[in-house]
Structure 1
Amino acid sequence: MSVRHAQTFTALAITTALAGCTVFPDYEAPRVMDIPTPAVPPNDSHPAFDTTLRIDTPQATEPFDSSRILTKPAPHEYQIYGGVRWRDTAPVLLRELMIGTFRQEGRLQGVVNETSPTGSDVTLVSDLYGFHSETGRNGVQVFVSLYAQLMDNRTRQTVCTGNFRITADATGPGIDQVVEAFGRGGEKLGQQLRDWLSDCLEA
């Protein structure tokens, strides 16, 4: 092998090795998990709002803007659960959970997402900055952190803001128990968002 060919081969080998070494490998997980929308009974004890709400997909950066199920074993490190992923990205899962919980409550005239051609009165925009599990002295906990703003679509002014940091205990360290804890965290988040929105619109 000539010197030139040897140098080319070495460069290709290094490039290939680096390409296969990533912190979050991209692969097709055999198990695909979902967070179900919690069952919310219709709220007949409070008056309905003559308002259509648009819910935008939460903004997020890596590693939260992905379908990987994350854990945080150290303060400055994220890892993924192997062999499993969410059915969609975490922001999309949360958007659909929020839409489902507001629709089930039934106090709003309409609830749509950002792709709907239907007009809306207010928009819920948010930033997702926590969607992972952590292991502490009391076992595994799930964290969901969301900063939300309600915007008046006519004036483009912010009507209300809210900062939500949800925790939910897992019954064990396994992925099934962790996913169940994410479901309970989503239920808590939905309840807090409904209360927050109700107070905002009533004010």
Structure 2
Amino acid sequence: MTGQPLPILAALGLALAVSGCTVFPGGEPPRVMDLALADVAEATTTGYGRSLRVDTPLATEPFDSSRILTKPSPNEYQMYGKVRWRDTAPVLVRELIIGSLRQEGRFDAVINESSPTASDLTFTSDLYGFHSETRDGQVSVTITLYGQIMDNRSRTTLCTRNFEVSEPAVAGDIDAVVRAFGAAGEDLRRQVRNWLGKCLG
């Protein structure tokens, strides 16, 4: 009698293993999206003569994830199905800023927080918005970031700025929304470059 339940348990375990091996229905993987950004022209003005560390922005849920978010009403967030960013939103914003500043070439070096190299300045930030919204039938993308520049030697804050960019999407489908995110990212990095020029120039 003690050995009879084993075949039943084994069959049940096999059924659970087979049914649980696929995360998405029909085995369809999610679409993995990235921000489409244009190249930045190299700086034609004098360099800063300093190095910069860009920390990953701090963010809470639901922004600290790789899901693409929409806000159909003022008090609700939803996620687009079967699609995600290639990394979390804070990492995308960090790499957007780093890539832009490296291409511009005004800093001696631009690194992230995992680099063992020392830097003269640090860019820290908080990410409060990285989502699409629908207002009066129009879909738009919003990125909200609070940033500050700190002198690493004196530990003093040199400049602060709240960035909020909004870009309309030509339609409500995910491809149009992702293109709007790319346009908003272009606007954000342009504002960051101009802000740094005024702060450090």
Q: Which deviations, in whole Å up to 9, do the C-alpha atoms of 1:97-144 show, x marking residues without a partner?
A: 100000111111110000111110000000000000011126110000
The two structures have a TM-score, normalised by structure 1, of 0.84
Cα contact 1:58–1:95 (8 A) shared by 2: yes
RMSD: 1.4
Give 5+ residue unaligned stretches, structure 2.
1-22
**What amino acid is the match of 2:40?**
V
TM-score, normalised on structure 2?
0.84
**5+ residue gaps in structure 1?**
1-25
Who is 1:20 aligned against? none
Runs of 4+ in structure 1 over 2 Å off: 26-29
Query: Aligned with 1:182: secondary structure?
Result: helix
- What letter corresponds to residue 31 of structure 1 in structure 2? R
- Given that 1:56 and 1:95 are in contact with CA atoms closer than 8 Å, whether structure 2 keeps it comes out as yes
Aligned length: 176
Conservation of the 8 A alpha-carbon contact between 2:36 and 2:179? no
2:48 alignment counterpart: 49
Tell which deviates more after alignment, 35-44 or 167-176: 35-44
Within 5 Å, give how 1:136-147 maps onto structure 2: 136-137=135-136, 139-147=138-146
Question: What is the aligned partner in structure 2 of residue 128 from structure 1?
Answer: 127
Residue equivalent to 1:112: 111
Question: Does the aligned pair in 2 maintain the 1:164–1:189 contact within 8 Å?
Answer: yes
Note closer, same or farther for the CA distance 1:200–1:103 as it changes in structure 2 (3 Å cut).
same
Structure 1 residues 165-193: Cα deviation after superposition (integer angstroms, max 9, x where no partner): 00011111110000000000000000000
Q: 1:75 to 1:29 in 2, by over 3 A?
A: farther
Instruction: Name 2:174's counterpart in structure 1.
Output: 175
**Does the CA contact (< 8 Å) of 1:38 and 1:101 recur in 2?**
no
Does the Cα contact within 8 Å between 2:67 and 2:80 map onto a contact in 1? yes
